[in-house]
Amino acid sequence: MKLSRSEQLASGINHVLLGTLGLLALLPFIHVLAQSLSSHDAITTGRVTLWPVDFTLESYSRVLQEQAFLNAFQVSVLRTVAGTLVNVALTCLLAYPLSKTYIKGRSTIMFLIVFTMMFGGGMIPTFLVVKATGLLNTFWAFIIPGAISAFNVIIMKNFFQSVPLELEESAKMDGGSNLGILFRIVIPLSMPAIATITLFHAVGHWNSFFDTVLYITDRKMFPLQVYLRELIMFNQSNIDNNSGYSSNMDSALLALESIKAAALIASTVPILIVYPFLQKYFVKGIMLGSVKG
């Protein structure tokens, strides 16, 4: 269908507007990237905007040599991988039976799940539960309290309902068990929705820091976001002492400026690398998982 001249003009304006908004959203990231690649003098004199001045990789070298940063990065990666696997597995195992209308008590269970989206236990009661179960200062404190998301359960339940019943009936006639049908038929057909909730959980784990503030006091278990919070807000870093530049005033000042920017970029790149592999499933999974009853 051919668009009229006015429709073409409106479409062009919309594209320009969206492109402009997208560029504006990228400007802060580009500015931080430019600071991470610039010298301290260029930053303090205000010469760095969107392009590095006095290009240097010294800040990245120091960040990647700091043991606290490496430990925090390792904790974040382990948390993201393990937490996402647990989240996705438990979500699928809960959503699949709820997608079957013949399950007794299905409506009651769904009501209880939706109820948790409107009312929460609160920060202090949740902390007391985590403490009573012995999860304080353990790796599982990152994973178990938020192991299942009601929103993602609903997405997966609706998606599972879209799988043709004939496929499952044929598998049962061939002797397939419920778990066999789930893992061999339903899950492979539901990869768009699974990729969607995987992205949700992975980004959530990678960016999370508040649960660490509540449940973790051992600094060796601090994830990357808590390390960045202390570096940016309180200037807490051992980079100068570890790198042997503590007597150099310029090196100390560098840790307060370009090293902060380098740490921010280093913490952002991993999740940016993951996103393109899941993007093609993202919109499809959300749409299909949201319109089914």
CATH architecture designation of domain 58-291: Orthogonal Bundle (1.10)
CATH 1.10.3720.10: which residues of the chain? 58-291
Q: Encoding tokens for residue 41?
A: 């003098």
CA 254 to chain centre: 29
Q: In terms of C-beta density within 10 A (0-12 exposed, 13-18 middle, 19 or more buried), how is residue 1 classed?
A: exposed
- pLDDT for 291 beyond 50: no
- pLDDT band of 280, cuts 50, 70, 90: low
Contact predicate 292/101, CB 8 Å: no
H helices present in the chain, as ranges? 5-36, 40-44, 58-65, 67-98, 106-118, 123-132, 150-161, 165-173, 178-181, 187-189, 191-207, 210-215, 224-234, 239-243, 249-256, 258-291
- Residue 148 Cα distances to 27, 47, 85, 95, 188, angstroms: 35, 47, 11, 10, 21
CA 99 to chain centre: 27
Contact predicate 145/130, CB 8 Å: yes
pLDDT digits (tens, 9 = 90+) for 155-206: 899 888 888 888 888 888 878 788 888 888 888 888 888 888 888 899 899 9
pLDDT digits (tens, 9 = 90+) for 75-121: 999 999 999 999 999 999 999 999 888 888 888 999 999 888 888 77
pLDDT digits (tens, 9 = 90+) for 28-53: 888 888 888 887 778 777 788 888 88
